[in-house]
Amino acid sequence: QVQLVESGGGLVQPGGSLRLSCAVSGTIFSISTMAWYRQAPGKERELVAHITSTYNTNYADSVKGRFTISRDNAKNTVYLHMNSLKPEDTAVYYCNLRRGNLEVWGRGTLVTVSS
């Protein structure tokens, strides 16, 4: 059974940085597309970034140049490096795994950007 566990969220001041981690159990991590989504209060969940099994990446326009997604297949972990954080980045961030018809979500980690 595949499980995703996010960590690294918290309170940060505007302009600050955070690194989110998502640890994945199971054996399909290296052949899966991994993604980070976020959901702000009162808004729909949106894609932040994804990284394929061949390390191709894609980002939402709102985070390009500030966020970087990366993966470590040896550790079954995907990361989201977030720099120059803004109050509008405040949201619950969710990790997502996709492989064929399989899609698995983590429970989320809260990021709050506030002074």
Please report which confidence band the pLDDT of residue 1 belongs to, taking 50, 70 and 90 as the band edges: confident
Which pairing describes strands 77-82 and 10-12: parallel, antiparallel, or unpaired?
unpaired
Q: pLDDT per residue over 11-35, tens digit each? A: 999 999 999 999 999 889 999 999 9
Q: Do 57 and 81 form a contact (C-beta atoms < 8 A)?
A: no
pLDDT of residue 48: 98
pLDDT of residue 43: 96
pLDDT in tens, 56-88: 999 999 999 999 999 999 999 999 999 999 999
Measured between alpha carbons, how far is 90 from 18 in angstroms, rounded to an integer?
Answer: 12
Q: Say what the pLDDT of residue 75 is.
A: 97
